[in-house]
Amino acid sequence: MSRDLTQTSPEAGPSIPSGHFLSLSPSYASPSSSPSVLPSTSSHLSGGLAPNVASLASADFEVDVRTGFLPATRNLTRLPLEWELWESALDAARGTGENGQLRLQGGGEREKLWRAGIETMGVLDTVGLRSSIRLLRRAHLVLTFLLHFYVHTTPVEPTPRTTPLPIPESISVPLLAISPLLGLPPIVTYSDTVLYNFLAPNPSAELSLATNPPTHVITTFTGTKSEEQFYVISALCEIAGAEALKLMRQSLDELFVADEKALKRLAHYLRKLAVQIDRISDITMSLMKSVDPEEFYHLIRPWFRGGDSDGPQSAGWAFLGVDDDAAGTQAENLADRATADGVRGRLFSGPSAGQSICHSYPPSHSITLNHNPVSTNAGIAPAAETPTAPSRPNEATFVQRMLQYMPLAHRTFLLHLSTHPTPLRPLVEHYARTHPKLAEAYDGALEALKRFREKHMRIVSLYIVQQARRRPSERVRQILGHSEADDNEAEEVKIELGEMRGTGGSPLFKFLKRCRDNTTKAMIGRPAGPGFDLS
């Protein structure tokens, strides 16, 4: 039996704010909707129509009840023949033929020939890709990997560039055509390396953490086991996050009722959520056994660098052959830099775990627990962290920027979570005295989130801080093509932690500590004790 949720009475519970998704006509009921058109995922982009959100698991959000944010259908391993030219170019870059893989900043004959081939390659039509979301995802992955191979095989200049690095039309034109269809920027993102890049052993069976988990990836930059496992472990975190999504949905459902039985069930769900967050933490820590820290820092991570890798003064990348405005359509809140000659360099950031909903900074958990709300401009940040004076034009907080690197449907999901008419935290505070087990369960979920961030900081310390302070080993130098030892080489490299930036462009450690500390401050009961420190 249906009921009008826009009406309220003392018995009906909380009222629904005007404009909330529950009071709007669903987008799937629109006469103009068509299976051939990608669904609208945001009410302000769909003429006042709301997404189909019978629960937090919704096709409009690209969320599946079984797989969470991972695609429920098998990822494509290769594009059809019409776009074989892209796939062949990627094969050549990855060294899947007779020749070896292209080298970082190599500048050798192989790198020069490959780059010349990209520069003279024709511009392929993208219209046929629009028939399938799977085709679009694979095309974005292939083109952005080609983009990063092209950029990072460019010989390094002695000083930072002052003019944008030009990106050939063969990459920029098709990439800028398909990126808006996915709601992604024209750069490698977490979605490309993880969500659209994993395979499970049994293609005919349902994806499952217990019986058919992600075990392989389709495309890597280095061909190393470390890189593959880095992506696989992230995918395992995502599939584990599906159960957390179920618990969050159940918790939010209880908020509509908020009677005695609902409060008891809510405490139960919060305790289970804490267990699931710890499970994701444990999967994340398995990196220690599967991913070599030196290989990650020196061989893998450099391929991730984006146009902003030299900091706010980066020259960026110039996408040739496209209208200047088109290159920024998916990055309204991202910075760009116009040089003296009028050529605009785009300062997109490389892939980062901050672009994941379930992995490194789980914003869906934070929003559900109401200590990291989503602002009206669809950015996520603790309220106290909203900047009043951005450090560069149009720059929001790191998490707000990372939101722009998620698929549009997933961004809309986070916004939907933040618009729940009955926030969790005020309710727990209201009942903290009369229902202490509820407050204890709430703090327990936040403690699990804090433990997650502590473990992430330990991983960052091992894989970035310690590696940045050391010279690469002879083994790694040989792989990089720098086998001769430097006579002036020191055992340790002096580096300021405050100057280190993540691949997402953030001041890495200030952000990590702030996330950890804000989680502790949000606890209703006693705060947790002092935590892990990187300094």
Known binding-site residues equal 456
Residue list, annotated binding site for heme b: 456
Q: Which contacts qualify for 434-439: CB closer than 8 Å, 24 or more apart?
A: 435/263, 435/267, 437/267, 438/263, 438/266, 438/267, 438/270, 439/524, 439/525
**How far is Cα 306 from Cα 297, in angstroms, rounded to an integer?**
15
Burial 203-231 (b: 16+ CB within 10 A, else e): eeeebebeebbbeebbbbbbebebbbbbb
CB < 8 Å & 24+ apart, contacts of 325-330 = 326/176, 327/172, 327/176, 327/186, 329/176, 329/179, 329/180, 330/179, 330/180, 330/183, 330/184, 330/185, 330/186, 330/404
Rounded Cα distance, 280 and 296, in Å? 21
Task: Please report which helix (H) or strand (E) contains residue 234, including its range.
Answer: helix 225-257
What does the alpha-carbon distance between residue 56 and residue 62 come to, in Å, rounded to a whole number?
A: 10
- State phi, psi for 334 to the nearest 5 degrees: -105, 150
Find the helix packing angle between 169-182 and 133-152, rounded to 10°: 140
Residues 286, 279: Cα–Cα separation, whole Å:
11
Cβ-contact 25, 32 below 8 angstroms: no
**Beta-carbon contacts of residue 143 (< 8 Å; ≥ 6 apart):** 86, 171, 174, 175, 178, 186
Residues 406, 407, 410, 412, Cα dihedral to 10°: 100
**The token pair that represents 518 in the structure block:** 């804000």
Structure tokens at 280: 């994701």
Q: Return the closest-CA partner of residue 161 out of 313, 302, 327, 312.
A: 313
Residue pair 455/281 in contact by the 8 Å Cβ criterion: yes
Nearest to 511 by CA among 407, 388, 396, 415: 396
